[in-house]
Structure 1
Amino acid sequence: MSSTTRSISRALTLGAAATLVLTLTACGQDPSTPTGATASTSSSTTPETTEGAAAVVLEDGWVKASDDAMAGTEPMTAAFGTLRNTTDHEVTITGGSSPAAGMVELHETVKNDTGAMQMQPKAGGIVIPAGGTHVLEPGADHVMLMMLTGPLETGTTTTLTLTTSDGDITLEVPVRAFTGAQESYAPSPTHS
C-alpha cells in the first residue's frame, strides 16, 4: 500500500471515528440538562421556558376577569390553578410579569388582627417540592396581576411569565368570570 493511500485511509478512519464520538455524545446527553433552546409542553396552559423543558406547568390555570376591577383605584386581578414541578429537585417561583399588568407579585391571603381576610406578598416565594404540586386558589396563595393595562375579558387569554429558580416560564392563561376572591388589601400593599 502506498504512502498516499495509507494517509487517505487513516484520515477517513479518523474522520469516521470523530463523527461516531460526536454522535454518541449528542445522543447520550441528559435530557434534563438545559440546552438553551425554547421548549413547550402541553397542559391546560402552554408553558415555554428559556431553559429547555418546562420545570413547572400550570394545570387548570385561569385568570379572574377584570371588567369590574378596572373601576378601582388600583386595577388588579389574580391567576389560579395547580403548579406542578416536573423535575427531580425543588423549584422556587420568585415573581413574574405580564404585558397585561404593570406589576406581578406572589400573594398569600391571611387573617388580619380583626379577623378579616387580607392579601399580602408571599415572603420567600412559592416553593414546589420535587415532583410535587402547589395549589393557587381564591382565598389562599395566588399570582397577583396589579396595575392592569386594560380589562381582561371573559373568554380571552393573557400571557403570564413566572420567574423560577429554573428560569422563566411563559404561560397562556384563559380568563374566566369569578365573583369570589373579594379579600381586602389593607393595610396598603408594599410594592417591593
Structure 2
Amino acid sequence: MSLTSRLLTTLAAATIATAAFAQDTITVDDAYARSSGKTAKAGAAFMMIQNTGATDDRLIGVESDAATRVELHTHIVDENGVAKMTHVEEGIAIPAGETHMLKRGGDHVMFMGLTAPFEQDAMVPVTLIFETAGEVEIEIPVDLVRKDTGGHGSHSN
C-alpha cells in the first residue's frame, strides 16, 4: 500500500470516527423551521439539542444551502425592554448531560437570504457544527402553522 493510500485510509477512518462520535453524543429533537411567508427573505429554526456525552460541548456554527447566510442568533432585551436579535459569535454552550433549547425569543438558527421560500412540510438540510463532536447533519421540517407551545416532539437526527 502506498503512502498516499495509507494517508487516505487513515483520513477516511478518522472522518468516520468523528461522525460516529457526534451521532453518539449529540441528539437533536423537535426541530422545525419557519418563515413569515412565501416572500420572506429570512427564516429561523428551533430545536432541542442534547449532549449525552461526558464532556461539555459548544455549538459553534451552522451551515445550509437554504440561505446565503446562516448564523446562530439570540434575543437580548435592553434596559427599555426592547428585544434585539444578535449574532452569537462565540457559539452556544451545550453542557455534558444536558439539553439546550433553541426556541422562539431565545437562541435559534437564523437563515438570511433564503434561496427558496420555506414551504409547509418541506425539509431544510442543516449541518450543525460542534466544537468537540464535529458536524451533525439533520433535515429540519418546515412548519409554518406550529404554535410556540414549548412542547417537545419526536424529530431526531
Check conservation: 1:66, 1:153, Cα contact below 8 A.
no
Quote the residue 1:96 is aligned against: 62
Deviation at 1:112, TM superposition (A): 2.9
The Cα shift of 1:114 comes to 3.5
Q: CA deviation at 1:35?
A: 4.7
The Cα shift of 1:81 comes to 1.4
**8 A contact 1:66–1:151 mirrored in 2:** no
Q: Deviations over 1:97-154 (max 9, x none)?
A: 1010111111111113442211001242111111111011100111111111010101
Which whole-Å CA distance do the structure 2 matches of 1:151 and 1:123 have between them?
26
Question: For the structure 1 residues 180 and 146, does the alpha-carbon distance in structure 2 shift closer, same or farther, using more than 3 Å as the test?
Answer: farther
SS at match of 2:104: coil
**1:59 match:** 29
What SS class does the counterpart of residue 106 from structure 1 fall into?
A: strand
Counterpart secondary structure, 1:52: helix
TM superposition shift of 1:178: 4.5
1:20-99 pair list within 5 angstroms: 35-37=14-16, 51-53=19-21, 54=23, 55-68=25-38, 70-71=39-40, 75-99=41-65
Given that 2:54 and 2:96 are in contact with CA atoms closer than 8 Å, whether structure 1 keeps it comes out as yes
Q: State how 1:11-26 maps to structure 2 within 5 Å.
A: none
Aligned to 2:93: 127
Unmatched tracts of structure 2, length 5 or more: 1-12, 149-157
Which residue among 111, 115, 135 is the counterpart of 1:168? 135
Aligned residue pairs, count: 133
Checking the alignment, whether the CA contact within 8 Å between 1:80 and 1:137 is kept in structure 2 is: yes
- Unmatched 5+ stretches in structure 1: 1-33, 39-49, 182-192
1:60 partner amino acid: D
Partner residue in 2 for 1:150: 116
Moved beyond 6 Å, runs of 4+? none
1:140 is aligned to 2:106: yes
Among all aligned residue pairs of Structure 1 and Structure 2, give the percentage whose two residues are the same amino acid: 33
Q: Greater relative contact order: 1 or 2 (C-alpha under 8 angstroms, separation 6 or more)?
A: 2
* Greater share of residues in strand: 2
Larger Rg: 1
RMSD over aligned CA atoms reads: 2.2
CA distances 1:23-71 after superposition (whole Å, capped 9, x unpaired): xxxxxxxxxxx85327xxxxxxxxxxx5324232211111114534x34
Q: Distance in 1 between matches of 2:14 and 2:61?
A: 23
**What is the distance in 2 between the residues matched to 1:170 and 1:66?**
25
